[in-house]
Amino acid sequence: MNAESVTMERPEFDSAPIDGVVFEADAGADLPQLPASRHYRRARQDRGAETRHNLLIAALDVFGRYGFEGAATRDIAKRAGANLAAIVYHFGSKDALHRAVAEYVVEQMQKRIGDSIDTADEALKGGIDRATARRLLQRIVDVHIDSMLGEAEAELWGRFIMREQMEPSSTFDIIYDFMMKCQSTTTELIAFLLNLDPRSEEATFRAFAISGQFVIFCVARPMVAKKLGRDTLACGDRDQIRRVVAEHIDLLVGETLIDEG
């Protein structure tokens, strides 16, 4: 493919041809053969992986701020320190990049909260008592709080997810499927503690209401920090949030959390 003929989708943002840039795969095509040592190949692969990751993070920020329609691929490439053709090379199109960002967000969240969900799912297959159900629920809540408030990049995940909630796009189902898997497990635990049918609307509403106890600190983090007179929420703040949320959930489900330690 000739780089001069490449144009991005959404012509309202990127209608001009890409001049003076070439695909990474084509760079140096007319130059003498480059060294083929294992170390050289590994270094080149690493640079390609780094460019792809930088594009993902830049796109995560831009899509979260402006949505799919408002995001310009030229802006994404500039923020990533890459040329515009790199988006086509690594992802193929703006739509594919958007989808890759959604998959990246799910992958990062899965790494952090997946174990707590899987552990609860396994426990629910057998017989559990109320104290165990309450601990499993708290574990899910705690890892959400730690992942949402403990990492700088998590603010970008939250913004992207919120944007998809407000303006669902073709990637909405990727976020929805993962979030509903988590919410389904949470709902089952809450339904068990409240003696409800987990398939009932009542159980669904109560589960979302309880999730809101900690999600609000991600959505309203700047407001909370400003009210506290701080630039950001610190580790000690997260400890207090966990304590307060746990006390609220105790009241909502009628079961006091008992620390195994």
Looking up residue 62, the CATH number of its domain turns out to be 1.10.10.60
For residue 26, the model assigns a pLDDT of 40
Q: Is residue 117 located within the same domain as residue 241?
A: yes
For residue 167, the model assigns a pLDDT of 87
Q: Which of 71, 92, 113 marks a domain boundary?
A: 92
- pTM of the prediction? 0.75
Name the domain count of the chain: 2
The span from the CA of 98 to the CA of 170, in Å, is: 9
Mean pLDDT across 143-172: 87
Least confident of 21-30, 66-75, 194-203: 21-30
The span from the CA of 210 to the CA of 254, in Å, is: 13
DSSP character at residue 20: S
Q: Is residue 232 part of a domain?
A: yes
For residue 39, the model assigns a pLDDT of 42
Q: Is residue 35 located within the same domain as residue 118?
A: no
Token code pair at residue 196: 């409800």
Q: Is residue 229 located within the same domain as residue 148?
A: yes
Mean pLDDT across 184-206: 96
Q: Is residue 160 located within the same domain as residue 201?
A: yes
DSSP character at residue 26: T
Q: Is residue 260 part of a domain?
A: no
Q: Is residue 53 located within the same domain as residue 149?
A: no
The span from the CA of 220 to the CA of 177, in Å, is: 24
Q: Is residue 54 located within the same domain as residue 125?
A: no
Q: Is residue 97 part of a domain?
A: no
Question: What burial letters (b/e) apply to 31-69, b meaning 16+ CB within 10 Å?
Answer: eeeeeeeeeeeeeeeeeeeebbebbbbbbbbbbbeebbe
> First and final CA of the chain: distance in angstroms?
62
The span from the CA of 114 to the CA of 111, in Å, is: 6
Q: Which of 72, 92, 112 marks a domain boundary?
A: 92
Q: Is residue 258 part of a domain?
A: no
Q: Is residue 261 part of a domain?
A: no
Q: Is residue 72 located within the same domain as residue 199?
A: no
Grouping H, G, I as helix, E, B as strand and the rest as coil, residue 32 is coil
Mean pLDDT across 236-241: 89
Mean pLDDT across 193-197: 96
Q: Which of 47, 66, 92 marks a domain boundary?
A: 92
Domain that holds residue 132: 102-253
The span from the CA of 80 to the CA of 60, in Å, is: 11
Can you give the CATH number for the domain in which 249 is found?
A: 1.10.357.10
Token code pair at residue 216: 């609000």
* E-strand stretches of the chain: none
Mean pLDDT across 36-65: 76
Q: Is residue 53 part of a domain?
A: yes
Q: Is residue 173 located within the same domain as residue 83?
A: no
